[in-house]
Structure 1
Amino acid sequence: MRVVLAGLGHGHLHVVSNARKLADAGADVVLIDDGIFRYSSLAAGILGGQYTEEEGQLSSAALAAACGVRHVRGEVQDIVPAERRVRLRDASPIDYELLSLNLGSTVAAPFPVSAAASVFTAKPLSQLIALRDALRSMIERRQTVRLVVIGGGHSGCELSANAAALGRRYGAAIDITLVSPENRLMAKASEGASAAIEHLLRGFGVDTRTNSACEAINDEAVLLSDGTALPFDHVLLATGLRPPPEAKVHGLAFNEPGGICVRPTLQSISDERVFAIGDCAHFIDDPRPNVGVFGVRAAPILTHNLLARIAGDTMKAYRPQKRWFSALNLGDGTGFGQWGGYYWRGRLPLFMKDRIDRRFMEGYRRLYAGRPGRGTPDSPSSLP
């Protein structure tokens, strides 16, 4: 039985690392991705210069080879459940008996954007690396840098703080404006947390503008609903996460943003042979925000249920937790921690976040580090 894993997110890392259990049950496990796992939790720190890009990435080909998984380097174009087939861009399609989707999410602009504007997005990580390099290049040429960040959620706030930290690292001040259509930053957090993060950002020199909706980005300025035009050198979009277009699988039920509707067993409500996890999934019984912890916690359930489906055993239900620890890296050696309705700023939240993130990455990196081969991806056409 062929089990195809489309995308390598937090959840599929666990499945790949336990793939020998699937193989022992008679599965031929195939992973489709672009060759690199990018850890979003370290993204802001990479922008700010605290981490290297290598620390935030894993070789999916090497990991797959170490765990006995066949790796196909490619990009999913669409999925045809009626034919049990995954179509790839510029490559032959791959058939499956069981399919698991961990396709992540993208950032989309809900307003017109000029093709000539220097615009970056909060995901994927490669976009933030490119922004970091662009900012650093301007700083090294002693040019004044004007950065407009659009989106006042957790991501927009953390990235604004780290853009300011990048400037301090090079002895320069980046002119940063953070724009949000909401009446307060981090609108889904408590009012106290929102006020605290706004105070911190202003202390870093960030100009925060709430109740300011972006209507368009032209070649030279961000145009706001009140008529204000904000000139920029670069723009960073942190306007919320949406499942990628390929998650809108014809024949499967999905919600308005495009997340595949799944049962507690992580199976599509439309096709029990299709599983979904992470940002591309929508839990119909208990919707959750796009936070990596849910993909991590659901991963053991996904692995168990794939095995159960192969063996005809009983599946388990995944029940997302109601509260979870989160921390923003503020770029100055401190973090902004949140647990339920509690929040605090200090070195401890950043220490906890750094420890969790490093252990997570090193746990998977150790599976292939030091091995003689780095893994050679299989061509889709070589799969029987």
Structure 2
Amino acid sequence: MQKRGKKTIVFGGGGHAHLYSLRRTHELTAQRFEVVLVNPSRFLYYSGMAPGMLSRIYRPEEGRIDIKYLVEKGGGRFVKDYLTEIHPDSGEISLAGGRTIPYDVMSLCLGSGVPNQDFAASIDHLTPVKPVENMENLYWKLRGFEEWNGRPRVLIVGGGPGGCEMACNCRKVFEDHGIEGQITIVDANPELLKSAPGKARRIMREFMQRRGIEVLTGTRVVKVEDGVAHTQDGQRLRFDLLILAVGIKPPDIFRKSGLKVAYDDGLWINEHLQSVTDPRIFGGGDSVAFRGEPLTRLGVFAIRQGPVIFHNLQAFLRGEPLKKFRPQPVFLYILNLGNYEGLAIWGPLVWSGKRAWDLKHYIDTRFMRRFQYPEDRPGEVAEYFERLSEEDVCDVGVNIESPGALRAATGGTPCSATDDVSSLAREKAAGGVPLGYRKRTRRGGHIPSSTWLNWKRSLRRDNTMKPAAELREMFDRAGFDPNGELIVYCQSAACSGHQLFALKLLGHDNVKNYDGSWKEWGNSELPIQTRPDRLTTVADAARPYAAGVLGLAVLWMAARRLRRG
């Protein structure tokens, strides 16, 4: 095939290792590179929030990134399709829809899946933990047990980080919806979290016991039939739902395309994240094997590979030196234990509880803010949503099934199978405020004479409302007059609706919610104040910085300990 004038950079898959480049598509197109992203959905679901999506700590729209938006805002092209074969000889890729796309250089981040083990007679019995979209389907399967008369049994096969997070967050779903169910986690290894420090393994086992989760270690499942898992030692474990979390495996497309792969079919890459078969191909994330060996499959490595991939794609086309990727020997990972507690592991350091969860939440939400509908000019996001097709609007992720698809498409809005998904989704995205998008304004500040009161202060840790006495004391301290007129607002009149509800419950009848809120006021010429008269205490002022300070302190202590040891 004859090449075009522009050099073409193809991104195969919209995985975590590609986010850095996709956010900077405009830098590539400014250099007259053609940029093409191929992915079966316009959304990437962030793996760090996957367990929280299962337990509804996070809504689906809070845990996904619109990668179609990222590439198109920079002048690139999005192709919604599956990549089926790579042709290094001709420099092309084949797609499931029958098209071929040429590449001058390409990066592949195709993710991974949970292999269907030999013990499973049919995949109908299994709900694997990957891809991340399965969390939405799994949530609705668990909710389906609300209609049961008996005691549902959930069996989780695999005692690694993923399996442990699944068990803890399944328990939260049961507790939140009054489901009296049994949860069992089974693993062939003698301990859960076999590669973690001993303290982490001990904390996890004790936590499982407190949460009423049965743990069967040293137990290998060898066969699965309808509702029964057979173990090597002859046990028959009955289940109503089986979750498979026994490790993840790259797709077999690299091997089938004649590229050199590792023992697990991961694309073999060198220190430049470059294929050893075709130097025009780079890769990152779970689908590659760094120098022939897969790295620990955590998002931290994929994220750190992003800047190296971005540099090396350009350097290769210019004939310039490539950068090396240096995996960090010690890394932090925090497990979501399902009840706003976390288990943090950084090398030999281990700690758990609310502070570990706070740090994880801070890291994850800060990361998402970088990529969820960033605007480089006012109105950019609204324009994008105006040109979306009906098919694009209804695209909520690969293989998300009803009713999960309907609910995810509408940001959690209850609807039935007969509802028009596209109209509901468009209605939710009306006014230029799409799902997962924090609308920005021309000016920062607040409405003169208003008092700032964080709506989350009305909630307990478990997201339930505080008692009336505590709420009344909080509003009284803020100076709210129960007999006067009150107007509440926030960025887009959503969070302020929560405070409206709380005030109504306390007997404040003369309360209104400013529908335009700051998205209207901040973009107008109305007067503003830039030094808000906030209701603060020392704790309120310090809270936004607490997670960051905690993280730095932990890293400092870990570095000292490593130097001594």
Shared fold by TM > 0.5? yes
Shift of 1:313: 1.5
Partner of 1:16: 22
Deviations along 1:202-255, whole A, 9 cap, x unmatched?
211111111111111101201111111111111000010111122335232110
Q: Which has the larger radius of gyration?
A: 2
Amino acid at match of 1:256: Y
Shift of 1:309: 1.1
Partner of 2:227: 220
Partner of 1:373: 384
Task: State whether residues 172 and 339 of structure 2, in contact with CA within 8 Å, keep that contact through their aligned partners in structure 1.
Answer: yes
Partner of 2:289: 282
Between the aligned partners of 1:255 and 1:60, the Cα distance in structure 2 is 29
User: Residue 112 of structure 1 is aligned with which of 116, 119, 135?
Assistant: 119
Task: State whether residues 149 and 178 of structure 1, in contact with CA within 8 Å, keep that contact through their aligned partners in structure 2.
Answer: yes
Deviations along 1:150-171, whole A, 9 cap, x unmatched?
0000110011000011111112
Task: State whether residues 247 and 280 of structure 1, in contact with CA within 8 Å, keep that contact through their aligned partners in structure 2.
Answer: no
Superposed, which structure 2 residues align to 1:48-59 within 5 Å? 48-59=55-66
Partner of 1:181: 188
Between the aligned partners of 2:243 and 2:331, the Cα distance in structure 1 is 27
Superposed, which structure 2 residues align to 1:68-107 within 5 Å? 68-107=75-114
Task: State whether residues 105 and 243 of structure 1, in contact with CA within 8 Å, keep that contact through their aligned partners in structure 2.
Answer: yes
Task: State whether residues 262 and 293 of structure 2, in contact with CA within 8 Å, keep that contact through their aligned partners in structure 1.
Answer: no
Between the aligned partners of 1:345 and 1:152, the Cα distance in structure 2 is 18
Matched, 1:32 2:15: no
Q: How has the CA–CA distance of structure 1 residues 116 and 73 changed in structure 2, closer, same or farther, with 3 Å as cutoff?
A: closer
Amino acid at match of 1:159: M
Shift of 1:191: 2.1
Task: State whether residues 148 and 232 of structure 1, in contact with CA within 8 Å, keep that contact through their aligned partners in structure 2.
Answer: yes
Partner of 1:297: 304
Partner of 1:382: none
Task: State whether residues 5 and 101 of structure 1, in contact with CA within 8 Å, keep that contact through their aligned partners in structure 2.
Answer: yes
Identical aligned residues as a percent: 29
2:350 counterpart SS class: strand
Amino acid at match of 1:219: D
Partner of 1:380: none
**Higher strand residue share:** 1
User: Residue 52 of structure 2 is aligned with which of 45, 58, 62?
Assistant: 45
Amino acid at match of 2:384: G
Where do 5+ consecutive residues of structure 2 fail to align? 1-6, 390-565
Q: CA RMSD in A?
A: 1.7
Amino acid at match of 2:285: G
Partner of 2:164: 157
Between the aligned partners of 1:284 and 1:172, the Cα distance in structure 2 is 47
Between the aligned partners of 2:316 and 2:176, the Cα distance in structure 1 is 52
Deviations along 1:110-138, whole A, 9 cap, x unmatched?
22323374420101122221111011121
Q: How has the CA–CA distance of structure 1 residues 328 and 336 changed in structure 2, closer, same or farther, with 3 Å as cutoff?
A: same
Partner of 1:308: 315
Higher relative contact order (Cα pairs below 8 Å, separated by 6+ residues): 1
Work out the number of aligned pairs and report it: 377
Deviations along 1:301-328, whole A, 9 cap, x unmatched?
1101111112221111010101111101
1:372 counterpart SS class: helix
Amino acid at match of 1:327: I
Shift of 1:140: 4.4
Matched, 1:333 2:340: yes
Shift of 1:142: 4.9
